[in-house]
Chains A and B, each alone.
Chain A
Amino acid sequence: ETGVTQTPRHLVMGMTNKKSLKCEQHLGHNAMYWYKQSAKKPLELMFVYNFKEQTENNSVPSRFSPECPNSSHLFLHLHTLQPEDSALYLCASSQGINYGYTFGSGTRLTVV
């Protein structure tokens, strides 16, 4: 365990479903991130939260909706996804620009 916990580890959902991914860290980090990793592509930054405030939305479709209720928890709400949204979704946290990142184990999402 890295200190960043993601649930669930695997998720299969239909295109009409609504589901949520959860990320939790108790490292005292103030910044949390959602990344998407598709096959044979680099990790893509989706959202950044800094002190619970969203500071970056990297042109992500509205069918992905993040929520950060406090600095330890980060959610990614999913609705009406497309098959091309199937990917590994990784959460990370950091203490600041001069510090390293800690990643979770990811949620492997399959949209059918």
Chain B
Amino acid sequence: KNEVEQSPQNLTAQEGEFITINCSYSVGISALHWLQQHPGGGIVSLFMLSSGKKKHGRLIATINIQEKHSSLHITASHPRDSAVYICAVLSRLPLQNFGNEKLTFGTGTRLTIIP
């Protein structure tokens, strides 16, 4: 079982729909990242959060540390939002020095928004 689980694996929705992607993790973390990967392969960091909620434009990310769960929401979805959304958790490696942290990734959620 992966330390970071995302659901759903694939999601197809109509333009304008409200989208929710979920992420659950089983390890202690320092922070959680939501990333967006377009078909060309490049990855863009959307959010890094360690508590509460963050909002950027039509994107909202929430995290519940006690429940080890995070959600990414997209309001008024648009075809250009079609991408793979990846949840990644940041945890410290045994050494406590700077740079000794590790990102563990989920397998991603492939989102397709149909016009």
The proximity string for B residues 1-28 relative to A, scoring 1 for CB distances below 8 Å and 0 otherwise, is: 0101000000000000000000000000
Total interface residues in chain B, CB < 8 Å? 31
Is the pair A106, B42 in contact by a Cβ cutoff of 8 Å?
yes
Is the pair B99, A42 in contact by a Cβ cutoff of 8 Å?
no
Is the pair A106, B41 in contact by a Cβ cutoff of 8 Å?
yes
Least Cβ distance of A4 to chain B in Å?
Answer: 9
Is the pair A101, B33 in contact by a Cβ cutoff of 8 Å?
yes
Total interface residues in chain A, CB < 8 Å? 30
B48 within 8 A of A: yes
Interface residues of B (CB under 8 A from A): 2, 4, 30-31, 33, 35, 40-45, 48, 86, 88, 90, 92-93, 95, 97-108
Interface residues of A (CB under 8 A from B): 2, 30-31, 37, 40-45, 48, 50-51, 55-56, 88, 90, 92, 96-106, 108
